[in-house]
Amino acid sequence: MSTSPISDKELIEKFLRGELLEEEKFLFDARKEDDSFLNLLETAVIAYKGRLALKERLQHIGEELSNEKSTPKRTSLYWISGIAAVLMLFFSVYFFSIQQLSSGELFENYFVPYPNAYTVKGTTADKNLSKKALNYYDATKYQLAIETFEKIAAQRNLNSSEHFYYGISLLAMHKLEKAKTQFKKVTFQHPLYNEAQWYTSLSLIKQDSLAKAKTLLNNTRLQFSNSRKKNVQKLLAELP
């Protein structure tokens, strides 16, 4: 009895959970050539990051509430009041006072490394080194990814995709000027050009160059994919 093929949504969900089977990994790599699949992947990664952030915040609230239970004599009403107070603080801090977020907090709220959608091509030796850099990138071992990209750059010119992922690795390590230099080398015709502008704006925000970041986002916001536009509009609303 043959099994029905796995859908793109199921494939992406299993990728985010780290549950891809060997044959599914090959399918995932093959699907990365499709723009519609990449759009689904980008949307899913952004949503997944948001769920993790919310879970972390709610967990922090739970820990604070647990710490408040210092004596068993507190009444239920007092406990409910404590929950209400913490939740009110949560909503006021994270939803109504976002304009007070520092540049560093804005950066941390919006920086999500782009999913690896690069299919390595070239000679065997060259492919191995490029794959090594991207494997480090996937494993969030950004310093090792940086060192490997540097080895490639010493041997030949990087292509736009490599500049892009090299730049994000540098950005993850807060090497901001070097990251912006790499993003500038992503050619205008490349599919990741607009994403390079997004990460450049995050670099500027981290450097507290908020006006420059706002100008860049305003100038390029119509060029972003629909999934990224939501982030751009939200970030613009939070910038002074």
For 148, the 3-state DSSP assignment is: helix
- What whole-number percentage of the chain has pLDDT above 90? 42
183 neighbors 167 (Cβ within 8 angstroms): yes
- For the segment 1-20, what is each residue's pLDDT rounded down to a tens digit? 445 678 888 888 888 877 88
Tokens for 219, please give them. Answer: 């100038």
What local confidence, expressed as pLDDT, does residue 94 receive?
44
What local confidence, expressed as pLDDT, does residue 212 receive?
95
**Checking phi first, is residue 18 left (phi over 0); if not, alpha (psi -120 to 50) or beta?**
left
What local confidence, expressed as pLDDT, does residue 22 receive?
80
What local confidence, expressed as pLDDT, does residue 137 receive?
95
Closest to 45 in 3D by CA, of 232, 234, 227, 230: 227
Mean pLDDT across 58-77: 56
167 neighbors 179 (Cβ within 8 angstroms): yes
Q: Does 51 score more than 90 pLDDT?
A: no
- For the segment 115-138, what is each residue's pLDDT rounded down to a tens digit? 887 766 555 555 688 889 999 999
39 neighbors 227 (Cβ within 8 angstroms): yes
What local confidence, expressed as pLDDT, does residue 99 receive?
43
Q: 228-236: list long-range contacts, CB under 8 Å, 24+ apart.
A: 228/42, 228/46, 228/194, 228/195, 228/198, 231/46, 231/110, 231/198, 232/198, 235/106, 235/110, 235/201
Superfamily of domain 124-238: Tetratricopeptide repeat domain (1.25.40.10)
Q: CA–CA separation, 139 vs 27, rounded Å?
A: 20
Give the length of the chain: 240
What phi and psi, each to the nearest 5 degrees, are found at residue 3? -90, 145
| Residue spans in the chain of domains classed CATH 1.25.40.10 | 124-238
